[in-house]
Amino acid sequence: MNKFLFVIIFFLLSISISAQVPAGYKPVKDTAAFKQQMQAQSKLVNTIESDFTQEKYLSVMSEKIITKGHFLFKKVNMLRWEYTDPLKYLIAINKDKMFIKDNGKVSKYDINSNKMFKSINEMMVNTVQGNLLNNKDYKAKYYENEKFYLLELSPLQKGAKDFLKVIQLYIDKKDYAVVKVKMIEPSDDYTMIDFSNRKTNQPIGDEKFIVK
């Protein structure tokens, strides 16, 4: 269980970003139009398959921690997050069930029976689909450059603010896909995840989201 929490922190809670807007970005003038288009595009996406590279920066370590893996998403509420290098670790969500595979051992959990699991599930799904735009638990700022929109989300709830300063979502202007997620802790340690080789609306069997 400790290792599971460690990986979840990698993915969600320890992705930290400095509050400073990256050079070359400017505020989005028509945020209502952006939100409308983002939501419209997310409704068209039924499946996502992608590789990812995760970079973790800790101020107490001299080198960044780099991990790689493969990601699957399928409506409604199915996720498969698999680390393949250098560690092998798998988290799969199938509606109200969560599977964790570590060193060949599979554990199964009921998401609805655990507030932490439920919160993690909602955050993961909404982040992938870019559905955090109207979440009242976050204050949103919108920026853009020639290629990307940059959505900055600052938590408003005290519990979240204790471990998370801001989430940054980098969104491709071509198809409104989330191509990078970066989260910053109050300490300015961060985790950044880059998605690559993304495929959308390709057939993905339900069996991919059941771990044995």
Write out the chain's pLDDT in tens, 212 residues.
445 555 554 454 333 334 456 778 999 999 999 988 888 888 888 999 999 999 999 988 878 899 999 999 998 889 999 999 998 999 898 988 889 999 889 999 888 876 666 666 676 666 665 566 667 778 889 999 999 999 988 888 777 777 788 888 899 999 988 899 888 888 989 989 999 999 999 999 999 999 98
Q: In what order do the strands lie in the sheet with 89-94?
A: 26-27, 138-144, 148-155, 166-172, 178-184, 190-200, 47-57, 65-74, 78-85, 89-94, 97-102, 105-110
**54 vs 65: CA distance, rounded Å:** 8
Q: Is 119 helix (H, G, I), strand (E, B) or coil?
A: helix
Residue spans of the domains in the chain: they are 2-195
Contacts of 118 (CB under 8 A, 6+ apart): 111, 112
User: What is the C-alpha separation between 184 and 191, in angstroms, rounded?
Assistant: 7
User: How much is the CA Rg of the chain, to the nearest whole Å?
Assistant: 17
The verdict on domain 2-195 having CATH code 2.50.20.10 is yes
